[in-house]
């Protein structure tokens, strides 16, 4: 057998370009892990996860909540941003400064300075849950990037092209990884493959994803 089969594999780069204006930042959120998750738990106590309904009547496999000035919602009326949580009639919880700061720093790593997110979508994946290829296009201004933060179980992130039929790249995301994309990549199709079962030592049998956007 060749000797190189026994050699230690190189770790993935901490900053990995994945497209024009798009980067994968390995372990970027780990330095504030405890504080971020504590803030997340407080948000979810006020606005618990729920499975939203698409305009076509499909129940999403991913459970959702939001924080920020507005939150993303879907129902029979369509996809949109709203300042009010339809499940409670209350405004969404405020976005913690810790969240916004993380999003700004990650956006800066992708070349987008002064990112000011006003919405944070909080998605919960359990084994088998997935997010089909889609584009984030409900925002008023596409000049701002998207920042996505992963916690919990590993996931496969699919990052495609400008057409749904373009074959996507596939990236293994671990707890604490962050992906940021904008500019020429802002409207690419992307998604998450069906989550495999497992047990994360901190979050158990789930993956939590924070997606930061400037909606208005």
The structural domains of the chain, with segments of one domain joined by +, span 14-213
Count of CB atoms within 10 A of residue 135's CB?
14
Query: What tens digit of pLDDT does each residue of 201-211 get?
Result: 999 999 999 99
At the top level of CATH, the class of 14-213 is: mainly beta
DSSP-based three-state secondary structure for 135 = coil
d(CA 102, CA 96): 10
How far does Cα 181 stand from its chain's mean position? 11
Would the pLDDT of 4 be above 60?
Answer: no
User: Average pLDDT of 10-25?
Assistant: 88
Task: Identify the pLDDT of residue 10.
Answer: 57
Query: What tens digit of pLDDT does each residue of 55-101 get?
Result: 999 999 999 999 999 999 999 999 999 999 999 999 999 999 999 99
Task: Identify the pLDDT of residue 11.
Answer: 59
Query: What tens digit of pLDDT does each residue of 131-182 get?
Result: 999 999 999 989 999 999 999 999 999 999 999 999 999 999 999 999 999 9
Q: How far is CA 43 from CA 29, 130, 208, in A?
A: 18, 23, 13
Would the pLDDT of 37 be above 70?
Answer: yes
d(CA 190, CA 23): 14
Task: Identify the pLDDT of residue 13.
Answer: 72
Would the pLDDT of 1 be above 60?
Answer: no
Would the pLDDT of 7 be above 70?
Answer: no
Tell if the pTM clears 0.85, that is, is over it: yes
CA triple 135-150-104, angle to 5 deg: 75
């Amino acid at each position: 057998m060749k000797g190189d089969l026994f050699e230690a594999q190189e770790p993935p780069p901490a900053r990995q370009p994945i497209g024009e204006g798009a980067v994968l930042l390995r372990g970027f959120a780990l330095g504030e892990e405890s504080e971020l998750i504590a803030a997340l738990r407080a948000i979810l106590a006020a606005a618990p996860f729920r499975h939203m309904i698409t305009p076509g009547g499909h129940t999403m496999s991913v459970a959702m909540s939001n924080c920020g000035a507005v939150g993303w919602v879907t129902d029979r009326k369509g996809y949109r941003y709203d300042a009010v949580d339809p499940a409670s009639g209350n405004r969404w919880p405020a976005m913690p400064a810790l969240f916004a700061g993380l999003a700004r720093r990650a956006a800066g790593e992708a070349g987008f300075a002064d990112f000011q997110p006003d919405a944070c979508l909080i998605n919960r994946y359990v084994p088998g849950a997935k997010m089909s290829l889609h584009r984030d296009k409900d925002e008023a201004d596409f000049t701002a990037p998207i920042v996505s933060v992963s916690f919990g179980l590993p996931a496969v992130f699919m990052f495609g092209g400008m057409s749904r039929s373009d074959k996507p790249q596939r990236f293994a995301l671990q707890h604490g990884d962050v992906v940021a994309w904008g500019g020429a990549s802002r409207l690419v199709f992307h998604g998450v493959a069906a989550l495999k079962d497992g047990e994360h030592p901190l979050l158990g049998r789930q993956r939590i994803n924070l997606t930061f956007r400037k909606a208005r």
